[in-house]
């Protein structure tokens, strides 16, 4: 439920909603086999919080979600150890973080007054203290320097493990042409090429370039991204980059993405209505969602639909027979694209007699991953 904690900070609420949805699904799955679950917030804060109880902070969202997951697992007879490592360097913020950590019961919460840029190896050592540990790494910098690949590479290399990174694309684009800023660690050899681009193309290519670097550095099979819009502008503020080595992780992140995008548009609609009231002093006869305006996300979605469809068709034409699971995983790495989009393309291709399904239980049987279904492109 929406609270006043996030007024004028709707983008933070969307981020927290995504984190909560993702961890709520992923932790019970991982906890069914892992002996230890370790959540690491590399830049915990708190910053700009409104709630005195710190309810509007990422670490509170994560801790609360882990506690609920612990109860779910216990009901299933599973009791993995759960730890949270919360890293913060600012003395004032750390004092609040440490005080909060002392109030948590039921899971281990370890606050550390560390400079993240100097303590990556210590974080890795902390994770590896436990055998059969599965770490969830959250990297949420206020700028871009602390998301640089050379710095975070040891965290990306943790295997098993998954990573969620907040890529501050609006700030990166703002300073990309500034010769005093160094983007080589973040974007590598792509910096000069990206400077030649502009608008949507520059932003979209920037995200893909960074996601590819994350994939390569951590040897991840799948990297997904999700844009989060500014509450008061028709523009993206940042992109969440999620990396995993398991298709099930993609599935759960896409569910979180679908929910969070709907939630984002609703919160922005309410913010727009609130501002209209402040500016005019008059209440609208339309509901917030009826008067809602945006175009950037719609363009982004349409572009990703086209790219994902082209990717699937190219893969099928090149190899002729490809598993449904593989095509699904390729398409789901495009932000905002969902499995219903892929199923619609498959339906269209079958109707046009371009595609045949192999291994389907029956003509009306649903398309499901893990059932051995193959897609065959007809010459």
Report pLDDT digits (tens) over 194-234: 999 999 999 999 999 999 999 999 999 999 999 999 988 99
Give residue limits of the domains in the chain: 4-270, 309-377
Terminal Cα distance for the chain, rounded: 52
Report the pLDDT averaged over residues 150-173.
97
Question: Do 67 and 107 contact (CB within 8 A), yes or no?
Answer: yes
Report pLDDT digits (tens) over 271-295: 888 887 878 887 777 888 888 899 9
CA distance 217 to 157: 7
pLDDT of residue 290: 84
pLDDT of residue 284: 76
Task: Please report the DSSP string for 93-127 in residue order.
Answer: HHHHHHHHHTT--SSEEEEE---GGG-HHHHHHHH
Q: What angle do CA 263, 265, 266 make, to 5 degrees?
A: 65
CA distance 84 to 71: 16
CATH dotted code for 4-270 = 3.40.50
Q: Is the pTM of this model over 0.85?
A: yes
pLDDT of residue 93: 97
Q: Tokens representing 375?
A: 């897609």
What does the buried/exposed string (b/e) look like for 239-278 if buried means 16 or more CB atoms within 10 Å of the residue's CB? bbbbbbebbebbbbbbbbbbebbebbbbbbbbbbbeebee
Report pLDDT digits (tens) over 223-272: 999 999 998 899 999 999 999 999 999 999 999 999 999 999 999 998 88
Report pLDDT digits (tens) over 89-145: 999 999 999 999 999 999 999 999 999 999 999 999 999 999 889 999 999 998 999
pLDDT of residue 282: 79
Rg (CA), the chain: 22
Report pLDDT digits (tens) over 15-68: 999 999 999 999 999 999 999 999 999 999 999 899 999 999 999 999 999 999
């Amino acid at each position: 439920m929406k609270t006043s904690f996030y007024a004028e900070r709707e983008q933070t609420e969307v981020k927290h909603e995504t984190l909560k949805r993702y961890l709520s699904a992923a932790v019970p799955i991982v906890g069914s086999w892992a002996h230890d679950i370790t959540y690491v917030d590399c830049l915990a804060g708190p910053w700009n919080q409104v709630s005195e109880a710190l309810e509007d902070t990422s670490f509170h969202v994560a801790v609360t979600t882990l506690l609920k997951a612990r109860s779910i697992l216990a009901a299933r007879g599973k009791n993995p150890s759960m730890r949270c490592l919360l890293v913060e360097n600012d003395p004032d913020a750390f004092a609040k973080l440490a005080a909060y950590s002392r109030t948590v019961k039921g899971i281990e919460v370890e606050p550390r007054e560390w400079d993240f840029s100097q303590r990556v190896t210590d974080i890795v050592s902390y994770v590896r203290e436990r055998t059969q540990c599965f770490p969830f790494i959250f990297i949420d910098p206020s700028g871009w320097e602390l998301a640089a690949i050379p710095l975070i590479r040891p965290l990306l290399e943790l295997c098993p493990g998954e990573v969620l990174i907040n890529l501050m694309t609006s700030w990166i684009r703002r300073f990309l042409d500034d010769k005093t800023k160094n983007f080589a660690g973040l974007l590598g050899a792509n910096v000069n090429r990206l400077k030649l681009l502009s608008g949507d193309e520059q932003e979209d290519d920037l995200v893909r370039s960074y996601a590819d670097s994350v994939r390569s550095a951590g040897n991840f099979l799948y990297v997904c991204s999700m844009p989060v819009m500014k509450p008061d502008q028709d523009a993206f503020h940042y992109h969440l980059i999620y990396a995993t080595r398991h298709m099930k992780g993609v599935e759960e992140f896409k569910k979180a993405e679908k929910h969070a995008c709907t939630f984002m548009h609703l919160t922005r609609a309410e913010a727009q209505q609130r501002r209209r009231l402040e500016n005019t002093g008059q209440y609208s006869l339309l509901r917030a969602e009826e008067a809602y305006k945006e175009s950037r996300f719609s363009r982004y979605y349409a572009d990703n639909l086209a790219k994902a469809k082209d990717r699937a068709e190219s893969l099928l034409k090149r190899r002729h027979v490809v598993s449904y699971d593989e095509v699904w995983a390729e398409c789901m790495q495009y932000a905002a694209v969902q499995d219903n989009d892929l199923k619609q393309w498959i339906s269209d291709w079958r109707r046009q007699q371009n595609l045949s399904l192999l291994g389907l239980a029956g003509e009306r049987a649903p398309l499901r991953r893990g059932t051995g279904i193959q897609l065959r492109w007809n010459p």
